[in-house]
Amino acid sequence: MTHDQVPELHGYGVRWDPEERCYRVRNEMTGEWLCQDSGGLKGFSSFTDAWSAWRVFEMHKRPGEH
């Protein structure tokens, strides 16, 4: 799924989906969305869980990381 296909989501990496009322995870380097095994977008009810998944999904050094 490309960024253009989900314009209603906002944020960087962890995005709030207002229609589904959950967080979605996007790799900002590749534009790829984190999906379930079934192929649908994976949703998280907790920002902390989504943030943890994003840190694994988008693997590159962030400011302050060594």
pLDDT for position 7: 45
pTM score: 0.72
41-52 exposure pattern, b = at least 16 Cβ within 10 A, e = fewer: bbebeeeeebee
pLDDT in tens, 3-56: 455 445 656 789 999 999 999 999 888 889 999 999 999 999 999 999 999 988
Q: Pick the closest to residue 35 from 48, 24, 51, 49 (CA basis).
A: 24
For residue 47, give every residue at least 6 positions away whose Cβ sits within 8 Å of its Cβ, in sequence order, or none.
14, 23
pLDDT for position 28: 84
pLDDT for position 26: 92
pLDDT higher than threshold 50 for residue 1: no
Which strand (E) or helix (H) includes residue 49?
helix 47-57
Q: What is the CA radius of gyration of the chain?
A: 12
